[in-house]
Structure 1
Amino acid sequence: MNIVYMHTHDTGRYIQPYGYAVPTPNLMRLAREGVVFRHAYCAGPTCSPSRAALLTGMAAHSAGMFGLAHLGAQLDDYSKHLVPFLGGNGYETALCGIQHEAPEAEMIGYDRILGNPDFDMSVFDFDSVSWDVYNAEAAAEYIRGRGGRGNPFFLSFGMFNTHLNFPKAAPSLETAYLMPPSLMHDNEANRRLWAEYLTSAEAADRCAGIVLQAIEDAGIADETLVIFTTDHGLPFPQMKCSLFDAGIGVSLIMRTPQRHRKGEAVDAMVSHLDLFPTICEMTGLAAPQWLQGCSLLPLLEGRAESVRPYAFAEINHHVEYEPMRCVRSDRYKYIRNYGETAYLTPNLDTSGYRSFLLDNGFLRTEKPQEMLFDLYLDPAERVNLAHNEAYRETMRELADVLEKWMRDTEDPLLNGAVPLRRGGTA
């Protein structure tokens, strides 16, 4: 079984298969041919920790990824990455486009690096759209060349879109008639910003379409697992780099060779940590002992309605240190802030919306040490129930679950502040 893993930056669930008016017809077609996980969550809503967790099957702190790879953060052990695992089990592995689990792509151990893996405008005089298209075409060429080969391949195709800075908005988008996400104030500046996001999302979708068409052209659709996801939520305050669902909620679409649950939506809660064990079970490979997730195959085959009672996520370093942990059940979310109560300005991606919030007192808003939300009654996570007597037992239970998970996964935060580690050293 071949595996094609397609991923974007900072998309959350803002694509057409999740009901949003976002021009992503190729991903919509993939959703109709596969299965959409409506309640998928990353393990850390910042770029490198999220990707490290997905590709090692471990919490970011277990993998040693406490910050951003381009700032020097590394995995403790790259042999636990999915790529060397599959490479040691007969797969040819190839990277095309973005990776964010290592300071340099060569550290991961891919057999082949295609296109241009480093978005460096000083080397490639391209905008982000042209860069992604360039890599999509390189990925497509590789896939077409793999048709009829005996040994399977794993291809990671990573797109820069939909990361800030977004491309210039398409002229066809009329900002007067757009609505930004509900968490954003509706004004002209944010509508223009949203038009730029829509343009960026359309570019990513176009590139996904190039790769999907290559799979068809090579005649290998019935022997290829396709996974599409993103690292975390939109690159705006209280989304990316936050443990609210707007930060940890991600799109996840899978099309299996068997067309499991074709055209269906799955409401079970799942985690990025579950993808590595799913691949193991689907390929018949023995799962390595370090995995912390659950295979999704019982959901795909309709043998189970759920595979996990809780999903966990964390923040350590983004640009600045902001240690937080959370546990989410189907109904409740508990967040523990281990750092300062104030929001950290460098951890909010630069944008016009960020400037608008800062100008209007965002940094004076409260960020409590503990937060509890009833997600059935308050899906937007606006009402903190941490000190509501009626929820005392629920909060105590979730706090205990979170602490047990931290101990079971040897979270160093239990012992105090966690320094930014590079290559497994403090």
Structure 2
Amino acid sequence: MNGDPGARRPNILWISTHDINPDLGAYAGVWPGADAARTPNLDRLAAEGVRFDQAFATTPVCAPSRSALMTGCHPISIGTHNMRTKAVPPPEVRLLSEYFRMAGYYATNNWFTDLQVHLPGTAFDECSDTAHWRGRPDVETPFFAVFHGMATHEAQLYLADAEFDRITAGLPEAHRHDPASVPVPPYHLDTPEFRKAWARYHDLVSVMDAWAGGLLRQLDDDGLADDTIVVFWSDHGAGLPRMKRAATEAGLRVPMIVRWPARLAGGQVRTDVVHLADLGPTMLTLAGLPVPEHVQFSPLFDGEGRPVEQGEYAFGGRDRMDEQQDSSRTVRDERYRLIRHRHPDRSPLQYQHFADRFPTWRALRTAVNGEARQRAAGLVPDVMTPVQRRATGPGKPELEHTRGNDHLGAGVAARNHPQ
């Protein structure tokens, strides 16, 4: 696995966040409402690198998605598909960082390790909240450094006001969002709970952008920008109902940006359908290292940085989410998404202890209960719209197919919808 010991290998910096769609200014015109938040640092990164417009996670929740990214294998093939488990993958499966360490890289992780497997001792040189490429033994040692930002995690949307004010203290007033005017997608209720969550979501995307900008400045200060492959990505879609945990466009569509001034021309836009987990074999290929035979995803570039044509489809799905027992599979091409629900008799809004604490989930429960009371009184239910009922009903279609970019859910065609 060591390759050519005399070759100078590129450094690699991964900047990852939780729970966002392509809601960066760089995606304006590509993703609805992408320019709502101010994201100058990541917009600049996209202008200097390659922006992927149709990148998809394998799973709409963090740990299974990250397991795919770090192993190069679909979660369903190595047992990491159920959220909250400690799988034992086949013996040939290693974490990506292990391959880099065997090739002489200094590998760090700051600090998130929710990968669905027991973290082997060989995974990183340092794994802590202080892990940093600056800890490597000397400046000639290449590094693979991973930073996981928590600013946009769904739980942050619902912090107490004083705590939210604290973590957004550096955000200029002009960059804050007014709940009264923030757009709300049609599958969400137009209520104070959802408006506040959406306003905070865009505020936190800007906070995350400032954090990412700090890492990029450190790279510049160290004189490493030209020799370092920088990748920005999110693990899955936004942390709101019918998005996170749902095998929908909004659950799986993610931002993904790759910059390497030494080899990749800036300002490129890739519109082909790709998997987020393609990043693993891509990094190995760009570093001149072999991709193990068992890896199921594909390099996005060849060793010279030339684009590699991908397959026609991106595959994904969801399985158990903590106590939610459900399973769906989905496939996406450049134009359409098809979803097959394996349990159409189960509600898309099953109880989920972690998420049901949040005001948006409680607001949906209240609306469902309100319509039940209307029916009991012999009234026509009018608390929700048809799109909202579809997201909260007692069952769901066996099949759903939509236009690929229709994350708003207004154009769903269904078959075998439970009555």
TM-score, normalised with respect to structure 1: 0.77
1:156 deviates by: 1.0
1:234 deviates by: 0.8
Q: 1:349 aligns with which of 355, 370, 382?
A: 355
Note if contact 1:43-1:273 (Cα within 8 Å) is conserved in structure 2: yes
Secondary structure of 1:216 counterpart: helix
Gaps of 5+ in 1: 116-137, 389-426
Q: 1:234-273 maps to which residues of 2 (within 5 A)?
A: 234-258=238-262, 260-273=264-277
Note if contact 2:336-2:403 (Cα within 8 Å) is conserved in structure 1: yes
Secondary structure of 2:216 counterpart: helix
Match of 1:45 in 2: 60
Overall identity of the aligned pairs, in %? 28
1:256 deviates by: 1.5
Match of 1:358 in 2: 365
Q: Kindly indicate whether residue 81 of structure 2 is the aligned counterpart of residue 66 of structure 1.
A: yes
What are the superposed Cα offsets for residues 106-144 of structure 1, whole Å, 9 maximum, x if unpaired?
6562111232xxxxxxxxxxxxxxxxxxxxxx45xx334
1:212 deviates by: 0.7
Q: 2:318 aligns with which of 287, 298, 315?
A: 315
Note if contact 1:92-1:151 (Cα within 8 Å) is conserved in structure 2: yes
Secondary structure of 1:14 counterpart: coil
Note if contact 1:237-1:348 (Cα within 8 Å) is conserved in structure 2: no
Note if contact 2:88-2:117 (Cα within 8 Å) is conserved in structure 1: no
What is the CA–CA distance in structure 1 between the aligned matches of 2:256 and 2:230, rounded to whole Å? 11
Q: Kindly indicate whether residue 83 of structure 2 is the aligned counterpart of residue 76 of structure 1.
A: no
1:232 deviates by: 0.6
Q: 1:9 aligns with which of 15, 18, 21?
A: 18
Note if contact 2:133-2:143 (Cα within 8 Å) is conserved in structure 1: no
Match of 1:373 in 2: 402
What is the CA–CA distance in structure 2 between the aligned matches of 1:324 and 1:108, rounded to whole Å? 34
What is the CA–CA distance in structure 2 between the aligned matches of 1:303 and 1:106, rounded to whole Å? 33
Q: Which stretch shifts more, 24-33 or 171-180? A: 171-180
| Structure 1 residues 46 and 200, CA gap change in structure 2 (3 angstroms) | same
What is the CA–CA distance in structure 2 between the aligned matches of 1:176 and 1:380, rounded to whole Å? 20
1:252 deviates by: 0.4
What is the CA–CA distance in structure 2 between the aligned matches of 1:379 and 1:105, rounded to whole Å? 35
What is the CA–CA distance in structure 2 between the aligned matches of 1:300 and 1:243, rounded to whole Å? 35
1:288 deviates by: 0.1
Match of 1:127 in 2: none
Match of 1:275 in 2: 279
What is the CA–CA distance in structure 1 between the aligned matches of 2:206 and 2:401, rounded to whole Å? 36
1:180 deviates by: 3.6
1:365 deviates by: 5.5
1:153 maps to amino acid: F
| Structure 1 residues 181 and 147, CA gap change in structure 2 (3 angstroms) | farther
Q: 1:8-407 maps to which residues of 2 (within 5 A)?
A: 8-19=17-28, 20=34, 21-68=36-83, 71-77=84-90, 79-102=93-116, 105=119, 109-115=123-129, 138=130, 142-144=132-134, 149-166=139-156, 167=159, 168=164, 170=168, 172=173, 173=176, 174-181=178-185, 183-258=187-262, 260-297=264-301, 301=305, 306-319=309-322, 320-339=324-343, 340-343=345-348, 344-346=350-352, 349-350=355-356, 351-361=358-368, 362=389, 363-364=392-393, 366-375=395-404, 378=406, 380-387=408-415
1:370 deviates by: 1.8
Note if contact 1:318-1:347 (Cα within 8 Å) is conserved in structure 2: no
TM-score, normalised with respect to structure 2: 0.78
1:321 deviates by: 2.2
| Structure 1 residues 220 and 278, CA gap change in structure 2 (3 angstroms) | same
| Structure 1 residues 182 and 4, CA gap change in structure 2 (3 angstroms) | farther
| Structure 1 residues 238 and 154, CA gap change in structure 2 (3 angstroms) | same
Q: Which stretch shifts more, 188-197 or 154-163? A: 188-197
2:107 maps to amino acid: T
Note if contact 2:346-2:394 (Cα within 8 Å) is conserved in structure 1: no
Report how many residues are paired.
Answer: 360
What is the CA–CA distance in structure 2 between the aligned matches of 1:287 and 1:366, rounded to whole Å? 42
Q: Which stretch shifts more, 144-153 or 315-324? A: 144-153
> Which structure is higher in helix share?
1
Note if contact 1:52-1:63 (Cα within 8 Å) is conserved in structure 2: no
What is the CA–CA distance in structure 1 between the aligned matches of 2:90 and 2:155, rounded to whole Å? 32
